[in-house]
Amino acid sequence: MILTLTEPTSPRYLYINPENNLVHLLVPVVGGQEISTDNTCKSTASLKEFFGSKGALRELNTYKSALEFDLQFLDKHHPLRQPKKERLNQIKEYIKAMPATQNQYENAITTLMQLPSNLYSIQLRPRAQDLYSRVINPVFNINRENDNQGNPLSALYNSMHQIYPAATIAKPDTRAQLNQAVLTALGASPLQRVDFDKARDALTEQCKNLFGIDIDFTKDKNGIAINPGYIAAVIGVDEDEIATAQDYINNLLGFCAPELFDNIPAPHFYKVQDNADKTEKLSILTQFFLAHLNIYCAASEISGSNFGAILDASPPLSNAVAVIVSSALSAGNPVEESLCTFFNEHSKDFGLTRPLNQDDIESIKQKFNSTYVAITATPENPHMDDFMILDSNAQKGLFVTHQGSICTDFSELDPSTKNEYFKTVRRDFETRPVGEIPQINEHIKGEIDLDINTLLSRLKDDSQFEQLPQNIRDACMQSPAFQARQFLNNVAKGKQDEAHNQLLNNPNTQELLTNPGIFTDYSGRTFNCTAYEYAYWAKDTHMQRMLEQHMEEDTKAQMSNRCEAIEELGLNYSQNGTEYCTKHFDFAPLKQALQNYIDGYDNWNRTNNYDAMKAAWMLVGLAQRDVPVHVINEYCRPDRSFDPTPQFNEEKLPRVATFYNYNTSKDEALFPLVLTDSSGLGVDFALIRVARGAVGLCGIVSGGGAWRAAAALDLAAVSRLDEVRTADLTQSRENLKSVETRLGHG
């Protein structure tokens, strides 16, 4: 049987380095790939979710459970076992570290954003500003404040809003732009003779640079290879007559892309309509492009200046920028190139260490175009206030993209940590290739071939069985091994009716009763014995009597011998990794915890030492975790209370395990036990029996002795139950003796 292991390959927030098996927990700083698509509020909410109880911690615990589930099926020599154990230990390190960061992450993120890296913040000034806009260490921003009369204090903003209303937006001459770009790349004049292959390569490259279009200029529309001879033959001239740069450009476009200029989308600046929104949209586009120009210069170490601050400090420069944009639009010229030319001409003003070359300009334009498309495709930034932009081409940096967000590594949030594991993770993160982190950890996929008996023997409880794929569950349920396992689990978990029904009209009844197996009860004790042995050890009289009804004489004889062995040698079991051997379940820890609480109550109440009182009450809850399920059934049965102390001689025990939880104000099932660091039996409540039934209380701290009296009633009932069930064992051994033996004794 092939079992696909459950460790998730695409868990939220987690990346496993395939080269060294290191687990990286990636913190989503802001949504987006190369530019943030979340506004400030949504970004804050995402971080709050990550560090909250339903974020990374829940994902880590889910991942931990999956690893633990897988490991129980892997033998110690299986090649998948050691890597999974390593990942499990790492996941535990993250779970342990999470609480310390939950109240400090905002400061840690702020500190990280102030370091030189590959994520840059910008803040623009739209007409209607987002009051919650917040940026850390912006590389570009302009003044967003107003004077006492409400007039903007930004010189750049004022210049654009004064000049742009009169700007006319012509249709850009894309053919002329392409023609000039190719000639510039060739370093040739239109009538200069050039090499055909070089002209074709330049045309291909510039179509890609200017328009983002890949065109095959090696063949015509019919797939026929193009060369100078082909062109000359088609138009009926000698090759020498078409050897200039302009001839090659015109003919290659005509033969290979005759409809090119009908399909080229207008540049972003030229998509602005001449209406009431024109000035605002041109203003935002100008700021957005200048921010990208600023980021490129910072990342390339061309300038460390904030261009927005420089422009705001110089009304003449700001005015010149607005005029450049307006003039370019009126002439149909590329606005972006015009602005780059302006910055080259004023390189000293902007602190440029060198002029921007054509490759620089193309890179800036490409990033500007792609990020503008990304942010205008989402409604998250209606005011165009602030953004984070990722330099994915950087050689190193503290930020990556992962699962639709710009992230940093959890280990970066506390660089001073003394935890050696996180130091190792941080070194691994900082030396990785910069770029997008894979969303799927393909290399951790795994499966294992197991027979049904082995598989079932390694399952701890029913919930784990439900985790198996449906086809494997179906196969298991058809096997005798599953029936045996289910029977043992029903007995250990007090499911008396279910166990009884399994034995009715079953040809394998005696095998179910006499065959031992491995199973675990609700308290986490794992046994390898028969159902009756467990019920006998647990002092579960009602379960024993039901099982006895289905036994043939040979089965009773076997069980009699096994019970005598328990009385002599005890029954082995393991719990929490420790091996034990006892004759019966011991009620003493629960009785002692109740007695300690009762003895200390008056003094704690008189001195208002409620912490000590609560701690003592939680020890009662801890002891209750260990009781067999029939004891909890007595606490929870609805037909009588513990006052007066019961005789515990009823024929039937209602198998109820529901209590009223004062912490949640609702009825809840006690089993299976759900325990966390902040809630659960023995963590924030213990059971007390009152008139209406079992109640889970967080701590008995009031009532002037009433709760102490209630605890005393519980102690009396538990003590009586222990006495009765211990005495019942003698009757159990008598019931297992053969008819002949009993008559002989008579």
| Total residues found in the chain within this entry | 746
Express as a percent the part of the chain with pLDDT over 70: 96
More confident residue, 69 or 463: 69
Sign of CA dihedral 163, 165, 167, 171: positive
Is pTM beyond 0.85? Reply is no
Using the predicted structure, report yes or no on whether residue 159 has a pLDDT greater than 60.
yes
pLDDT of residue 345: 97
Q: Which helix (H) or strand (E) holds 666?
A: strand 666-669
Q: Which residue(s) pair with 390 in the sheet?
A: 119
Tens digits of per-residue pLDDT, 676-724?
A: 888 999 999 999 998 777 787 766 544 457 888 999 999 999 999 999 9
How many Å is the maximal CA-CA distance in the chain? 131
pLDDT tens per residue across span 37-47: 887 777 788 88
Please report which confidence band the pLDDT of residue 380 belongs to, taking 50, 70 and 90 as the band edges. Answer: low
Q: Which pLDDT band holds residue 742 (cuts at 50, 70, 90)? A: low
Q: What number is the average pLDDT over the span 176-186? A: 91
Residue 702 has a pLDDT of 47
| Residue 264: closest CA among 253, 250, 248 | 253
461 pLDDT above the threshold of 70: no
Percent helix / strand / coil, the chain, rounded to 5 = 50, 10, 35
* Residue 744 binned pLDDT confidence (cut-offs 50, 70, 90): low
d(CA 510, CA 488): 13
CB of 2 closer than 8 Å to CB of 448: yes
Look at residue 642 in the predicted model and tell me its pLDDT: 93
Angle of helix 541-549 versus helix 496-503 axis, rounded to 10: 10
Q: What angle do CA 308, 310, 315 make, to 5 degrees?
A: 100
Task: List Cα–Cα distances, 423 to 29, 344, 397, in angstroms.
Answer: 21, 44, 16
Look at the alpha carbons of 246, 247, 249, 253 in this order and tell me if their dihedral is positive or negative: positive
Q: Judging by beta carbons within 10 Å of its beta carbon (0-12, 13-18, 19+), is residue 601 exposed, middle or buried?
A: buried
Residue corresponding to tokens 């009716």: 497
Confidence check: pLDDT of 746 > 60: no
Computed on alpha carbons and rounded to an integer, the radius of gyration of the chain in Å comes to 39
Is the pLDDT confidence value at 459 over 80?
no
Q: Which two tokens stand for residue 715?
A: 């102690």
Task: Give the model's pLDDT for residue 39.
Answer: 73
| Residue, of 745 and 653, whose pLDDT is higher | 653
pLDDT digits (tens, 9 = 90+) for 463-476: 777 788 788 877 87
For residues 8 and 87, give the distance between their C-alpha atoms in angstroms, rounded to a whole number: 12
Across 405-425, average pLDDT: 86
Summarize the confidence of residues 433-440 as an average pLDDT. 84
Lowest mean pLDDT among 445-459, 636-650, 651-665: 445-459
In what order do the strands lie in the sheet containing 138-141? Answer: 138-141, 119-123, 386-390
Q: What is the DSSP annotation of 394-426?
A: -SS-S-EEETTEEEEEGGGG-TT---HHHHHHH
Q: What mean pLDDT do residues 242-261 have?
A: 91
The mean predicted confidence, pLDDT, of the chain is 90
Give the mean pLDDT of 408-417: 82
Average pLDDT over residues 238-256: 91
Q: How confident is the model at residue 237, as a pLDDT?
A: 87
Q: Which pLDDT belongs to residue 705? A: 74
Mean pLDDT of 544-550: 97
